[in-house]
């Protein structure tokens, strides 16, 4: 699975666990609902600062938000 889609599914799962609509969660973190919806669909190459907003909104760390987020076999991890 593509990393953006995998990350989006993780966000959707966390939001659903908290029984929040996309509207309410986006409002909570100060993000446009349509932008957040595109993140959940894996259609946005989201910035680190917006990932931090989402993690903070869920009350979790950056490392926790990436738990179970998969990198597709064809996507290579690049060293820094």
18: CATH: 1.10.260.40
26 located within any domain: yes
- Number of separate domains in the chain: 1
Q: Note down the domain range covering 29.
A: 3-65
* Residues sharing a CB contact under 8 Å with residue 5, sequence separation 6 or more, in sequence order: 41, 42
Q: Report how far residue 57's alpha carbon sits from residue 15's, in angstroms, rounded to the nearest whole number.
A: 10
The answer on pLDDT for 79 being more than 70 is: no
Confirm whether 53 is domain-assigned: yes
Question: Model-level pTM?
Answer: 0.85
Residue bearing tokens 């957040």:
36
Position 70 in a domain: no
Residue 45: which region, alpha, beta or left (left: phi > 0; alpha: psi -120 to 50)?
A: beta
pLDDT single digits (tens) 44-62: 999 999 999 999 999 999 9
Average of per-residue pLDDT across 57-73: 91
């Amino acid at each position: 699975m593509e990393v953006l889609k995998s990350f989006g599914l993780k966000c959707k799962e966390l939001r659903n666990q908290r029984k929040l609509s996309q509207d309410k969660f986006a409002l909570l973190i100060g993000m446009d609902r349509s932008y957040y919806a595109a993140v959940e669909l894996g259609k946005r190459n989201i910035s680190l600062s917006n990932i931090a907003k989402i993690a903070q909104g869920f009350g979790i760390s950056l490392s926790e938000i990436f738990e179970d987020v998969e990198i597709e076999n064809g996507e290579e991890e690049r060293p820094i």
